Amino acid sequence: MPEDAIVASGITKAYGSMMAVDHVSFRVPDGGIFGLLGPNGAGKTTIIKVLTGLSDLTDGEARVAGFDVRRYPMEVKQRIGWVAAEVILDDDFSGWENLWLQAKLQRVADWQDRAARLLEYFTLSAFKDHKVSTYSTGMRKKLEIALALLHEPEVIFMDEPTIGLDPGTRRMLWELITGINREYGITIFLTSHYIEEADALCNRIAILDQGKVVAMGTPNELKARVHGDYIELGTAETVDETRLLAIPGVHEARAQGPTWILKVDRSEEFLPHLFEHIHPDLIRKINVAKPSLESVFLQLTGKRIDQASNEAHDYRKFYANVRRARG
Ligand SMILES: Nc1ncnc2c1ncn2[C@@H]1O[C@H](COP(=O)(O)OP(=O)(O)OP(=O)(O)O)[C@@H](O)[C@H]1O
Ligand SMILES: [Mg+2]
């Protein structure tokens, strides 16, 4: 069995007395898509920085692509790609020239075929000779991901990959990201403050708040932690609250115009009881609302995931280190 692609054990990063990351542990299996969700300042970018070797650990251990990040930082860097939160490309260069520059930085020999395939995958082939300054935000992000994939990494880290994109472009990028995982077999670690993004993309999610993991699991496991489903019920005849509360499993009944909103434990178990108490012929409308990740997040942190910052990270430093190491 291959080793997990990422193993973080009690990773900790302190800035003075401030614990930016506080004893965080998780594993990402080879080929997994792992998401770190958290509000501004939760420590998401700091976790990426320590896992990619950009920042030293204060405490704890991390292994990425089979190597300890502290003892073998260069082995790690050669096996990973990194997409920073802010798009940082050379605007005066074309897409192709940016790939050429990346190949130089990463010392990738025979990069042209792979670069051409990546441009095709990201539907940028027609724009390869256009200056990046003419690219849309979505095209820039796609080119950035292509750059991070050029040296055939085993693991790719993406810090807020769809920040600043409109919903349509965001969805298009989701498909490309899952495709990279499926078709190229690359393990993906991403951060996000978009709950629906983590829900759509990730097989496993950790919710981070003030440097600590407050919950971890599959999207469905996390949603199951918020107890109760809501049933929206419309009936052909007037039904009063007492009658609804008498149905086993109803915790709450709230009128909303002509319909009722019932809070129940599990809709699957509740519906048969409902049909025993109210004849199906009388039911005009029925909708089941499962708990969302948004409600999990609110319940666990008391916060909404808000707008994330757009800091420019040490992207250049990252690749410059790799170049230095390869001499
Ligand atoms: N170089 C640094 N020196 C001091 N404090 C820092 C440094 N880098 C980050 N921090 C602090 O560490 C905490 C975590 O920051 P981090 O950038 O990891 O959060 P984040 O979850 O990525 O937030 P965002 O969603 O805004 O990108 C914040 O309080 C931040 O101010
Ligand atoms: Mg960040």
Q: Which domain does 286 fall in, by range?
A: 227-290
> Which residue, by CA, sits nearest to atom 8 of ligand 1?
46
CA dist 64 and 285 (Å) reads 51
- 132 & 251 share domain: no
Type and span of the H or E element at 316: helix 315-326
- 232 & 140 share domain: no
Beta 18-28 vs 229-235: how paired, if at all? unpaired
- 80 & 33 share domain: yes
CA dist 52 and 314 (Å) reads 11
**If you average pLDDT over every residue of the chain, what do you get?**
88
Residue to substitute in 19, 21, 24, 44 for testing ligand 1 pocket (most ligand atoms within 8 angstroms of CB): 44
Residue to substitute in 22, 46, 314 for testing ligand 1 pocket (most ligand atoms within 8 angstroms of CB): 46
Strands (E), the chain: 6-15, 18-28, 33-37, 59-64, 67-68, 80-83, 155-159, 187-192, 204-209, 212-217, 229-235, 250-256, 259-264, 283-289
> Which residue, by CA, sits nearest to atom 14 of ligand 1?
43
Could you tell me the distance, in angstroms and rounded to a whole number, from the CA of residue 214 to the centre of ligand 1? 18
Tokens of 325: 């190491």
Closest CA to 147 of 323, 315, 317: 315
Our answer on whether the CB atom of 44 is closer than 6 Å to any ligand 1 atom is: yes
- 147 & 199 share domain: yes
- 129 & 244 share domain: no
- The pLDDT tens digits for 31-81 are 999 999 988 899 999 999 999 999 999 999 999 999 999 999 999 999 999
CA dist 220 and 137 (Å) reads 32
Per the structure, the count of domains in the chain is: 2
Q: Does any domain span residue 118? A: yes
The percent of residues above 90 in pLDDT, for the chain, comes to: 66
- Residue 218: the pLDDT is 93
Q: Are 58 and 69 in contact (CB under 8 A)?
A: no
Domain with residue 276: its CATH number is 3.30.70.980
- The pLDDT tens digits for 145-183 are 999 999 999 999 999 999 888 889 999 999 999 999 998
Q: Give the largest CA-CA distance in the chain.
A: 80
Q: Does any domain span residue 76? A: yes
Residue to substitute in 17, 22, 45 for testing ligand 1 pocket (most ligand atoms within 8 angstroms of CB): 45
Q: Does any domain span residue 159? A: yes
Q: Does any domain span residue 176? A: yes
- 202 & 322 share domain: yes
- 265 & 312 share domain: no
Q: Which ligand 1 atom lies nearest to the CA of residue 39?
A: 25
- Residue 305: the pLDDT is 52
Q: Is the pLDDT of residue 9 over 70?
A: yes
- Residue 298: the pLDDT is 67
- Residue 220: the pLDDT is 84
| Complete edge-to-edge strand list for the sheet that includes strand 259-264 | 250-256, 259-264, 229-235, 283-289
Our answer on whether the CB atom of 310 is closer than 6 Å to any ligand 1 atom is: no
- The pLDDT tens digits for 286-313 are 988 777 777 677 667 666 554 323 333 3
Could you tell me the distance, in angstroms and rounded to a whole number, from the CA of residue 110 to the centre of ligand 2? 34
- 266 & 318 share domain: no
Tokens of 12: 């900790």
Could you tell me the distance, in angstroms and rounded to a whole number, from the CA of residue 130 to the centre of ligand 2? 30
**Rounded to a whole number, what is the distance in angstroms from the first to the last CA of the chain?**
34
Angle at 14 between CA 13 and CA 16, to 5 degrees: 160
- The pLDDT tens digits for 260-286 are 988 888 888 899 999 999 999 999 999
Tell me, what amino acid is at 327?
G
Our answer on whether the CB atom of 13 is closer than 6 Å to any ligand 1 atom is: no
Q: Does any domain span residue 16? A: yes
Our answer on whether the CB atom of 126 is closer than 6 Å to any ligand 1 atom is: no
> Which residue, by CA, sits nearest to atom 26 of ligand 1?
40
With bands split at pLDDT 50, 70 and 90, how would you rate the model's confidence at 324? very low
Q: How many CB atoms lie within 10 A of CB 2?
A: 8
Q: Which ligand 1 atom lies nearest to the CA of residue 310?
A: 27
- 214 & 232 share domain: no
Q: Does any domain span residue 298? A: no
- Residue 302: the pLDDT is 64
> Which residue, by CA, sits nearest to atom 10 of ligand 1?
20
- Residue 309: the pLDDT is 30
Tell me, what amino acid is at 121?
Y
Mean pLDDT of 7-13: 98
- 130 & 261 share domain: no
Q: Are 148 and 81 in contact (CB under 8 A)?
A: yes
Q: Does any domain span residue 1? A: no
- The pLDDT tens digits for 106-118 are 899 999 999 999 9
- Residue 1: the pLDDT is 60
Tell me which of 91-95, 123-127, 191-195 is least confident.
Answer: 191-195
- 85 & 196 share domain: yes
Our answer on whether the CB atom of 15 is closer than 6 Å to any ligand 1 atom is: yes
Could you tell me the distance, in angstroms and rounded to a whole number, from the CA of residue 70 to the centre of ligand 1? 21
Q: Which ligand 1 atom lies nearest to the CA of residue 47?
A: 18
Beta bridge partners of 80: 155
Pick the more confident residue, 324 or 24. Answer: 24
Our answer on whether the CB atom of 43 is closer than 6 Å to any ligand 1 atom is: yes
Domain with residue 310: its CATH number is 3.40.50.300
CA dist 292 and 124 (Å) reads 35
Closest CA to 215 of 36, 39, 6, 49: 36
Q: Tell me how far CA of residue 203 lies from CA of 5, 118, 187, 248, 309, in angstroms.
A: 14, 25, 11, 34, 25
- 234 & 218 share domain: no
Q: Does any domain span residue 231? A: yes
Q: How many CA atoms lie within 13 A of 35 on its CB side?
A: 27
> Which residue, by CA, sits nearest to atom 3 of ligand 1?
15
